Amino acid sequence: MASHPGGCLCGAVRYETVSDPLHVTICHCRFCQRATGAAYMVEPVFRLGDLRIVSGAAATYRHRSEGSGKMVSIHFCAACGTKLYLSFERFPEVCGVYAGTFDNPGWFEIRPDNAKHIFLEVARPGTIIPPGIKAYDQHATRNDGIPIDPVIFAAPHAICARASK
């Protein structure tokens, strides 16, 4: 399997992934909106052991999830502030990479069989959800681990204006 390198803006922290992502989450929650400064986060998810820091060291900020109450660790460059990846108390065996930090952020595919959109209830109005991809108003699993049934749109679906949360 090929290595997929990435890193921070200043180059102080470099990493590589050594597998394809287990899946890709496109998250529209307020945490991800704030953390990325964008409408949503594209987050390829890997086994924790398939992400390796190859130079430098990431600092960590721990944040309690408003949804699950569990801790989320944001790993970032202390020099330039670039967020690199997340690790989760709720899902300890995996990590989610901030896709834009890969040297080639388009190397992995986003397909109906490997991707999902979550937290559409707070998605930016005008966001288009592609057809065939699983979509959830909130998370894809309840806090007790039980999966939630997705909605799958047959055609592109536009998020309408919603009350602010």
Whole-Å CA distances, 45 to 92, 125, 160, 161: 12, 26, 28, 29
CA 131/CA 118 separation, integer angstroms: 14
Q: Is 106 helix (H, G, I), strand (E, B) or coil?
A: coil
Task: Supply the range of the domain harboring residue 102.
Answer: 4-158
Domain count across the chain: 1
In a domain, residue 120? The reply is: yes
Let me know if 149 is exposed, middle or buried by CB neighbors in 10 A (0-12, 13-18, 19+): exposed
Instruction: Indicate which CATH number applies to the domain containing 26.
Output: 2.170.150.70
Angular region, 76: left φ>0, alpha ψ -120 to 50, beta rest: beta
pLDDT in tens, the chain (165 residues): 689 999 999 999 999 999 999 999 999 999 999 999 999 999 999 999 999 999 999 999 999 988 788 899 999 999 999 999 999 999 999 999 999 999 999 999 999 999 999 999 999 999 999 999 999 999 998 888 899 999 999 999 999 976 454
In a domain, residue 164? The reply is: no
In a domain, residue 165? The reply is: no
The count of residues in the chain is: 165
In a domain, residue 56? The reply is: yes
In a domain, residue 99? The reply is: yes
